Amino acid sequence: MTNRKPQTTSLLNIREPDDWHLHLRDEVMLSFALDFTARQFARAIVMPNLVPPVTTVSVAEAYRKRILAALPEGRNFKPLMTAYLTDEISPDEIALGFENKVFTACKLYPAGATTNSAAGVTDVGRIRKVLERMQTIGMPLLVHGEVVSSKIDVFDREAVFLETVLEPMLNDFPELKVVLEHITTADSVQFVQDARASVAATITAHHLRIDRNAMFDGGLRPHAYCLPVAKRRFHRAALRKAAISGNPKFFLGTDSAPHQKHDKESSCGCAGIFSAPVALESYALTFDEEGALDRLEAFASEFGPLFYGLPLNEGTITLQRTDFAVPQTITHDNLSVVPFHAGETLRWKASERAAR
Ligand code: DOR
Ligand code: ZN
């Protein structure tokens, strides 16, 4: 944490933000999760790790339609779709999707790295033609940056990925636009800072708040488990510094990833933190603690569109300094999901985006 003095502003108006990394799922979980995101965010990069994954233009179009159909009446929201890279995916398919404005980006999951990544890429060497085409057409590559090897300690997998996969890839594709998603280490902060301008990173709300001790706080805490897993306290400090730095390479991506309560509280609990119901509030709390509320707007609403070459949102959203009690669980139909900050009282509350 920081010693800086919190600011005393009680109302904060910012340009409508976007979420540059989001899991919306499908069916009943989709209508549940989407509502929370669309209250706060005008657009979101939608992750493609469904079962089966989103690997073709037609599947992405159908998924986009289901998302739009699941939006509550009067709520506007733009899902930005991504293609799930596999060893076999064709460069023509992803280029077609990009040219037709169906795909905004491609997501690289190393096979086995995380939830629903079994069909991911086994070796970056196998998608060279895809990366070449993406580089040519200016299509961003979004990276889950962890190696998958039982020989590498789970807490080191991100740092090893930088050295053994990302660095060589950036050298081989010097013009490729890359977002290193949900960074968790000081190493990644440094790497992205030092990299060329076309390399950026998203930072989640939860990695700005928890360190690895949160998973073992008085017992095993499955709701603090996500991937990449939270690291040591000094890594969190580096993430906080990057987020408030005003460096446009670092922008908001929640990685909000809902799982049913019973799937988290299990002998083999799923990875993922459902932060959508408290996302802006959680970021605001961190920026406030860091004495950097004046930098929140750029991080949440400007640096992402700037990187993706998209227009800034026109509307505004208001954050008010007031108590906000976060429920222990949120239920919907037969779903029961534990949100990030469950049972806590936060100091900020965001207004809902105006319907238009
Ligand atoms: O914690 C995570 N949950 N990390 C990921 O990479 C995937 C996500 C999910 O889909 O549940
Ligand atoms: Zn994710």
Proximal ligand: closest to the CA of 228: 1
Q: Which atom of ligand 1 is nearest to the CA of 109?
A: 6
pLDDT for the residue numbered 5: 52
- Residue 114 Cβ < 6 Å to ligand 1: yes
Domain that holds residue 125: 11-350
Within 8 A by CB and 6+ apart from 338, the residues are 223, 261, 264, 274, 328, 329, 330
**Rounded distance, CA 285 to CA 296, Å?**
10
Half-sphere exposure of 14 (CA within 13 A, CB side): 27
Q: Looking at residues 46-68, what average pLDDT do you find? A: 98
In a domain, 321, yes or no: yes
Asked whether the CA dihedral 262, 158, 168, 255 is positive or negative, the reply is positive
Q: What is the pLDDT of residues 188-230, one digit of tens each?
A: 999 999 999 999 999 999 999 999 999 999 999 999 999 999 9
How sure is the predictor about 232, in pLDDT bands with cuts at 50, 70 and 90?
A: very high
Is-catalytic flag, 187? no
DSSP state of 178: E
Q: Which atom of ligand 1 is nearest to the CA of 116?
A: 10
How sure is the predictor about 4, in pLDDT bands with cuts at 50, 70 and 90?
A: low
Q: Which residue has the tokens 């105006």?
A: 354
Domain total of the chain: 1
- What share of the chain in percent tops pLDDT 70? 97
Write out the two tokens for 328: 């222990």
Set 255, 263, 288, 323: catalytic member: 255
Whole-number Å distance, alpha carbon 228 to ligand 1 midpoint, is: 8
Q: CB–CB of 104/142 below 8 Å?
A: no
**Exposed (0-12), middle (13-18) or buried (19+): which is 229, by Cβ within 10 Å?**
middle
**Exposed (0-12), middle (13-18) or buried (19+): which is 248, by Cβ within 10 Å?**
middle
User: Is the pLDDT at 236 greater than 90, yes or no?
Assistant: yes
User: Is the pLDDT at 135 greater than 70, yes or no?
Assistant: yes
**Rounded distance, CA 93 to CA 227, Å?**
29
Q: How far is CA 7 from the centre of its chain?
A: 27
Q: What CATH number has the domain bearing residue 266?
A: 3.20.20.140
User: Is the pLDDT at 3 greater than 60, yes or no?
Assistant: no
> Which of 115, 180, 259 best tests ligand 1's pocket when mutated (most atoms within 8 Å of CB)?
115
Whole-number Å distance, alpha carbon 10 to ligand 1 midpoint, is: 34
Take atom 3 of ligand 1 and give the residue whose Cα is closest.
272
Q: Which residue has the tokens 């929201």?
A: 77
In a domain, 164, yes or no: yes
DSSP 207-244: TTT--GGGGGSSS--GGG--SSPP--HHHHHHHHHHHT
In a domain, 46, yes or no: yes
Helices and strands (H and E) in the chain: how many: 12, 13
Residue 16: CB atoms within 10 Å: 18
In a domain, 132, yes or no: yes
User: Is the pLDDT at 182 greater than 70, yes or no?
Assistant: yes
Whole-number Å distance, alpha carbon 115 to ligand 1 midpoint, is: 5
> Which of 23, 50, 117 best tests ligand 1's pocket when mutated (most atoms within 8 Å of CB)?
23
pLDDT for the residue numbered 8: 61
Whole-number Å distance, alpha carbon 226 to ligand 1 midpoint, is: 6
Q: Looking at residues 57-85, what average pLDDT do you find? A: 97
**Rounded distance, CA 252 to CA 302, Å?**
10
- Residue 260 Cβ < 6 Å to ligand 1: no
In a domain, 22, yes or no: yes
In a domain, 83, yes or no: yes
Q: What is the mean pLDDT of the chain?
A: 96
In a domain, 355, yes or no: no
User: Is the pLDDT at 6 greater than 60, yes or no?
Assistant: no
In a domain, 1, yes or no: no
Q: What is the pLDDT of residues 263-321, one digit of tens each?
A: 999 999 999 999 999 999 999 999 999 999 999 999 999 999 999 999 999 999 999 99
141 conformational bin, left if phi > 0, alpha if psi -120 to 50, beta if neither: beta
> Which of 157, 202, 207, 255 best tests ligand 1's pocket when mutated (most atoms within 8 Å of CB)?
255
- Residue 200 Cβ < 6 Å to ligand 1: no
DSSP state of 112: T
How sure is the predictor about 1, in pLDDT bands with cuts at 50, 70 and 90?
A: very low
pLDDT for the residue numbered 2: 47
